[in-house]
Structures are given as C-alpha cells and as structure tokens.
Amino acid sequence: MNKLVYAALASGAMILASGSAFASDGTITFNGALTAQTCTVNGEGQGKDFTVTLPTVSTAKLAALGQTAGATKYSVVLSACSPVTSSSKASVFYEAGATVDPSDGRLIVASGGAANVKLQLNNWDGSQIKAGYSATMQNSQPADISTGTATLNYQVQYYATGATTAGAANSSIVYSINYQ
C-alpha cells in the first residue's frame, strides 16, 4: 500500500515540476463584435446561392503567368436592412476554404479541367479581392446601406498561372455579409 502512495506522490510531484518548466511569454487578446444588423441577400436575382457564368475564352489569351481574361460583373443586392444608421455599410466577405489558394486569395478551379488557371475576384473597379484573408486585408469594397438597401458590385475573371490548357474552369466560394 505504501508503495502505491509513494508512487502516486512521486507522479504528482513530477507533473507539478514539469508544469513549472514552462514560462509565459505574453498574452493574446481577441476582440470581436456581434451585430443585430441584417439584410435580405439576393445575388444576380437568384437568391443567396447563385451562379455566375464567365465567357469561354481562348487559351491564347492566357498564355503566360499573370494574364487575365473574361472579366464578368456580378452583383449582390441587399434589401430590408435593419437596423441602419447614417454610417451603416456592408460588403461581401469571401470565406477561406478548400477552393481558395491561401497564398494569393484566388479561387482554385476543379481538377480534371483547364490547367494553370485560377479565378480572381475583383471589386467593380478591377482591384483584386483576396478571398480567405482577414476583412481588412481582403479589400472587398463596402457599400452604404443607410437607406436600407444597397447593391454590391464585383467581378470575376480568369487568371493564368502559366500557359493554360483547355477545359472547364469551375470553382465556388462560401461568402457572408460583413456589416460595418
């Protein structure tokens, strides 16, 4: 019996001693916020889940790294937003996921189709949106929703990562509305 007690005490002492070997180096503080603000979302007149079809383009237009083609505009319409203030804004937040390349924020196309191509999301002015990045680094342009409605305008285009090959260039992304 004494051997069991001594073994338990020795184990406990070792656990306590090993815990004291770790020193703290700092504190991480996380800040966040929740809002009661909501809007009805309608993308391209198809509801919250919608499809954008890019044009079929020649691989000759996407023959080298960095070339783009097929810019296609799309919109997300917000309505019935409440509550709103004179400074209410909203933007689309493109979530990280299996279809997003974390190195550049472009969308990876499904395997078995075109090669050396990604899809690049842009604001209406053509500036790149980096999907999967933080809201501040993503660069998704907000719209004023202080009237209770807004249209968020964006575009998508093909982006060559090298000399492309022919085939389907399909991808998808999960999004949410970022209220500011």
Residue 83 to residue 95: CA distance in whole angstroms: 24
Asked if 42 and 25 touch (Cβ cutoff 8 Å), the reply is no
pLDDT of residue 10: 52
pTM: 0.80
Q: Stretch 128-136: mean pLDDT, rounded?
A: 94
- Per-residue pLDDT band for 85 (boundaries 50, 70, 90) equals confident
Return the CATH number of the domain spanning residue range 38-179. Answer: 2.60.40.1090
Q: Evaluate whether 75 touches 151 at the Cβ level (below 8 Å).
A: yes
For the chain, the average pLDDT equals 87
Write the CB contacts of 173 (distance below 8 Å, at least 6 apart in sequence). 94, 95, 97, 99, 100, 107, 121, 131
What pLDDT score does 14 carry? 54
Once rounded to an integer, what is the mean pLDDT over residues 50-64? 95
> Does 107 score more than 80 pLDDT?
yes
